[in-house]
Amino acid sequence: MSMAQQKPLTHIVVLGGGPAGGATALGLRKLGYDVSVIAEPRPFKAVEGISERVLEGLRNAGFNQALAKLPQPSPRLASWNGATNSANTEMLINRSELDRGIGQDLQAAGVNLIQGRVGKVVADSDRFTVEIKDEDAQSVSAGFLVEARGRSAPAAGLARLRGSETVSLLQYWQGEPCQPQSAAESFQDGWAWMAAWSDGTRYLQLTFDVATADLPDKAQLIDHCNAILRTLPRAQPFIANAEPTGIIHARTSTPILCRKAVGDNWIRVGDAAMAVDPLSGNGIFQALSSALQAPAVINTLLQQPERATLAKQFYQQRVDHLFHRFARIGRDFYASEERWWDNPFWATRRNWPDNQPLHQETDPDSLQVVSMPVVSNGLIEEHEVVITNDQPLGIWHLNGIPMAPVVRALQNKEQGISPQRCLETALGMSPESAAGLTRWLYQNRWLKAER
């Protein structure tokens, strides 16, 4: 469809201004949409760890101010199954500051940022009316709704897959200003994540199984957590010369997948679509993954409703795939802690979500060229891609080279001709490019090793 034929662009409302809501709103602005984001500040102080990969994701999403004040990476120590690893680093970020920066980026991009709490959301034929709970009690009306309120997004009657019910109890201690650092450590009934922030605040987070942890009531909870922290060798540097502030905050950390994350005029992104176990330390990364794909899905639903089924299938498949990938990474990591094998915390988590391997070794005979939905020019379109037993969602391009013609050429190759020569003659590739691609095909087992 040419720009001249485009339908008038719908006003879109995004509920929640965290990384997912923010990235979706920025992507929609790039496509020319009129976007309002309704966001209230995070209700508690949180520090979280992000890796270089997450930082890259935030940059790709177009955040600028949000990344202006990030600290340098600090040392991260992990103690698991009795072994300690101090080789890693992570960047400790203050989530409220990140949200503030996201808000500035949204305003700079022309998003209508409304500070306030989302109240009732009413769906009326083809429009949504969102009540905003602030002093002026205004409301916003929009033709498309993006649900990005994270884990606190209402289930809205949608079916959800839940892993073992898990709670993380976050406690603050205060000590002298110090070098930022963090540590993770497993213990009999769960695992701990601890961070020291430069102003001396210590974030001490213990994660438990809700059904079996036998946690005391609220009045005794802090003492219970502190008794555990005092037994953990890796916690000692975080609590030495520091005092508990008496504040504890419970965060649900159950993995949750929304079975239906997209409809004709709404979509759920980030944790509202799928929330992973915080053990992976990848929550922001996965939140961005869905948010970066959402604008093309929304654009297709609004501009080319005849492709709605394709766009929804594309989105749901990716949400399901990513959720299961992170769930299996978590499962394998839980299984690597062998000291409390029969404890319910460890036993339930090392058996969920299934026993499928994280990766299948690619079988060259599994390669097929099929038509599948992909993102192309801000829309979801069907193109020929290559699927393998390990890549069921398909690979369209590799470094700009469409892979379906490559596989077709190799499948029709005459006997006695080398794969490289075949790519040169069938696809007109230069000898250097064909040689590089052939190496990749052997390394990734798309070609059978020659005997």
Residues in 218-277 at the binding interface with ligand FAD, rule: CB under 6 A: 251, 253, 270-271
Q: How many residues bind ligand FAD (CB under 6 A)?
A: 34
Are 246 and 222 in contact by the 8 Å Cβ rule? The answer is: yes
Vertex 196: Cα angle to 193 and 200 (nearest 5): 145
Vertex 309: Cα angle to 308 and 315 (nearest 5): 90
The window from 39-47, 66-74, 363-371, 379-387 that contacts ligand FAD (CB under 6 A) reads 39-47
Residue 250 contacts by C-beta under 8 Å, 6 or more apart in sequence? 167, 168, 169, 170
Are 154 and 185 in contact by the 8 Å Cβ rule? The answer is: no
Closest to ligand FAD by CB, 75 or 364: 75
Best CA proximity match to 358, nearest among 388, 386, 322: 322
**Total count of residues recorded for the chain:** 451
Are 90 and 50 in contact by the 8 Å Cβ rule? The answer is: yes
- We find the least distance from the C-beta atom of residue 295 to ligand FAD, in angstroms, to be 15
Amino acid sitting at position 271: D
Distance CA 218, CA 225 (A): 11
Binding mask 177-216 for ligand FAD (x = CB under 6 A): ----------------------------x-----------
- We find the least distance from the C-beta atom of residue 424 to ligand FAD, in angstroms, to be 45
Position among 14, 28, 38, 274 found at the interface with ligand FAD (CB under 6 A)? 38
Could you tell me the sign of the dihedral formed by the alpha carbons of 340, 341, 346, 347, in that order? negative
* 57 touches ligand FAD by CB under 6 A: no
Residue 130 contacts by C-beta under 8 Å, 6 or more apart in sequence? 13, 15, 38, 118, 119, 120, 121, 122, 139, 140, 141, 142, 145
- We find the least distance from the C-beta atom of residue 162 to ligand FAD, in angstroms, to be 14
- We find the least distance from the C-beta atom of residue 24 to ligand FAD, in angstroms, to be 9
Residues in 108-167 at the binding interface with ligand FAD, rule: CB under 6 A: 117-118, 148-150, 152
Residues in 412-451 at the binding interface with ligand FAD, rule: CB under 6 A: none
Are 29 and 64 in contact by the 8 Å Cβ rule? The answer is: no
- We find the least distance from the C-beta atom of residue 30 to ligand FAD, in angstroms, to be 18
The window from 80-88, 230-238, 279-287, 400-408 that contacts ligand FAD (CB under 6 A) reads 279-287
Best CA proximity match to 269, nearest among 300, 253, 298, 291: 291
Distance CA 272, CA 295 (A): 16
Closest to ligand FAD by CB, 118 or 145: 118
Position among 10, 12, 13, 16 found at the interface with ligand FAD (CB under 6 A)? 16
Closest to ligand FAD by CB, 118 or 196: 118
Position among 35, 48, 307, 349 found at the interface with ligand FAD (CB under 6 A)? 48
- Given the structure tokens 């899905």, which residue do they identify? 297
* 40 touches ligand FAD by CB under 6 A: yes
Binding mask 314-353 for ligand FAD (x = CB under 6 A): ----------------------------------------
Binding site for ligand FAD (CB under 6 A): 16-21, 38-42, 48-50, 54, 99, 117-118, 148-150, 152, 168, 205, 251, 253, 270-271, 278, 281-284, 287
